[in-house]
Amino acid sequence: MDHFLYHEGILHAEDVAITEIAAAVGTPFYVYSQATLMRHFRVFDEALNGMKHLICYAMKANSNIAILKILGNLGAGMDVVSGGEYLRAKAAGISGDKIVFSGVGKTREEMALAIKNGIRQFNVESEAELKVLNEVALSLGAIAPITLRVNPDVDAKTHAKIATGKSENKFGIPISKAQEVYSIAASMEGIDVVGIDVHIGSQLTDLEPFRLAYKKVAELTKVLRQDGHNIRRLDLGGGLGIPYENSNQIPPTPEDYAKVIHETVGDLDCEIEIEPGRLLAGNAGLMVSSVIYNKSGEGRDFMIVDAAMNDLIRPAMYEAYHEIIPVIETTGSPEIRDYDIVGPVCETGDTFANKRALTPVADGEMVAFRSAGAYGAVMASEYNTRPLIPEVLVYGDQFSIIRDRPSIEAIIKRDIIPDWL
């Protein structure tokens, strides 16, 4: 469920008309619903009742500090994958004991930053990283809490570019080597082994891969405890999918997912961490764009909008689907036509949809891209010297710009001409 509905023929974000926001900030822009974010978090949190747990929002999905503040106020922790994300989490008021640090390429500087300022745990991805983290911790007179991310060799049945749990993926330590590497970690003076980490992919719409992976984690937990390790925390990652299409195929719910956790690891007396990102933020956001031109080609019609692949890269990168709807509701029995919906960037890849059945939208009118709250603004660029588009947060009948559109002048001024030119 989200809070983007038509009222009196105009699409609203909660109680604010999209047309009102467009008049204030121009198009294109992102708009997020605070009520939707809060609801998504609470549904997930309630699904895990009965287990000691912490929801660590995967902030790579949408790292705007206002979004982090909303979730932090609800009790969320944060899953970060860079020093920059760590500092964003801290800027949002998240305490270090609620931040987990993931990622395959943590640098010494990032490790030191987190140790000095507080960290819940590092999710360590390799023996080489483990060795460096031990050195950094000892140099600071500290002990670094860790889990080891194990790769369970489970097919997540998702897009190849966002699958992370198969043996050929770059992530984690092969589960067959886990016992050996845990033994090495336990011998290090600067390391405190607190648990196990696993993450098999993103946008999963089938619970069976989770079940297979978590069963392997349960088995490994028992083996490691027999070896003398105090395994007390299980970071089960994220990845539960959301409905991008308005169809009868609904992904599993947080309640369904929580049941799998209960059934596979619920008897181990471990604190459970999960790292949802897309599930919390995805359907809490829209991207709104104006139609520049309608154009008829050879056997097809094009709808050229003022948003482009640099603003929302998912369709170009992943062939991802976003439902596209008119901001002004169509009434009666309108004509339905197939459109290629494209942006102004001079690449064929700047295409949001091919042969999408839509009612006509006139030049100058607006369309909204649904399910754009995750992996939208965070993956945007200034390709073609197109400014990053504004982000707007709505709560009830009020809205606020939470990231402004930079001026072209500000973009140009960032470049530096060397003295010899």
The residues assigned a catalytic role are 346
Read off the tokens for 51: 């287990």
What is the SS3 assignment for 289?
strand
String of DSSP letters for 349-375: T-EEEEEEEE----TT-EEEESS-SSS
Go through the chain and tell me how many residues it has: 421
- What are the b/e assignments for 199-238, b being 16+ CB within 10 Å? bbbbbbbeeebbbbbbbbbbebbeebeeeebebebbbbbb
- Which helix (H) or strand (E) segment holds residue 400: the answer is strand 398-403
Rg over CA atoms, the chain: 23
String of DSSP letters for 128-184: HHHHHHHHHHHHTT--EEEEEEEE------S-GGGB--STTSSSSEEGGGHHHHHHH
CB atoms under 10 Å from CB of 65, counted, come to 16
Question: Which residues fall within 8 angstroms of residue 336, CB to CB, at 6 or more apart?
Answer: 357, 358, 359
CB atoms under 10 Å from CB of 271, counted, come to 15
What is the SS3 assignment for 121?
strand
Quote the DSSP letter at residue 324.
E
Q: Fill in the amino acid letter for 131.
A: K
Q: How far is CA 232 from the centre of its chain?
A: 26
Residue 287 in contact with residue 352, Cβ under 8 Å?
Answer: no
